Amino acid sequence: MTAKAFLVKDKIALIAGDSKLWTKPAAVALVEAGADVAIAAKDTPRLAEATEAVRKTGRKVLAIPTDVTKAAQVKTAVRRVVAEYGRIDILVNAGDVHFFQPFLKIRNAEWNKVMDYNFNSALSFCRAAGKQMLKQKKGRIINIVSGLSERGMVNGATYCVAMGSVLQLTRVLALEWAMKGITVNAVGTGWFAEADRPIDEAVARYIPVKRYGEPDEIGSLVVYLASDVTEFTTGQLMFVDGGVMAHA
């Protein structure tokens, strides 16, 4: 098997964004591996930043301002990608809104907001893009989740439940579409550096590699799961976390 098999040359990828960490590195990694990319996210500086980063690589990019919490807008975004490119080969769900609050203090509006951005957006994109992939009889769906999709955390009920729901959706769709040419996998993340948040040295010491991750470090795993070498890999959760999940 050659290195070319791990690329995604001339594939069409849709990044369902609204994550300040994952949208840009996922998009850039895929275009550097040969894909053309569409980014559906709110019309914010993050969307503009991700779009400009892709343009600098010389690859084609389509920016689609989308409220990812609205199923109707998600359907419109998917239809636009298909109209522009003719198909969708890869879907990356990159939504990630943090929220931590004692369980009994969580208001319904707060619960619903976190579920809308972290789970319902992924659900809507899987429905809309999955329908197109079923027509094509081939596709790759990659859901980016937190390690808290599998572990609990004090004051983390809303976030843990939302991420756990995305992980279970990943596994269910992997089974349901296993014979349809579609793989569905998840990338699990740990602590990553953010420009507007200082490094917590105690957390860094807890991470086995003794540092926070850099957002770009998820890119290679996204490309791998999007490539044709993973036809026999589905329903899996693969971590990029510096070894955190190896802790007992």
Condensed to tens digits (0 to 9), the pLDDT of residues 16-31 reads 987 778 999 999 999 9
| Ordered structural domains, the chain, with CATH | 3-246 (3.40.50.720)
Neighbouring-strand partners of residue 197: 194
Q: How confident is the model at residue 3, as a pLDDT?
A: 66
The pTM of this model reads: 0.95
Q: Taking a C-beta distance cutoff of 8 angstroms, is the pair 117, 97 a contact? A: yes
Structure confidence by residue, pLDDT tens digits, 39-72: 999 988 888 999 999 999 988 899 999 999 999 9
Structure confidence by residue, pLDDT tens digits, 80-113: 999 999 999 999 999 899 899 999 999 999 999 9
Q: How confident is the model at residue 44, as a pLDDT?
A: 81
Residue 75 in this model has a pLDDT that exceeds 90: yes
- Confidence grade of residue 211 (pLDDT, cut at 50, 70, 90): very high
- Confidence grade of residue 32 (pLDDT, cut at 50, 70, 90): very high
Mean pLDDT for the chain overall:
93
Q: How confident is the model at residue 138, as a pLDDT?
A: 97
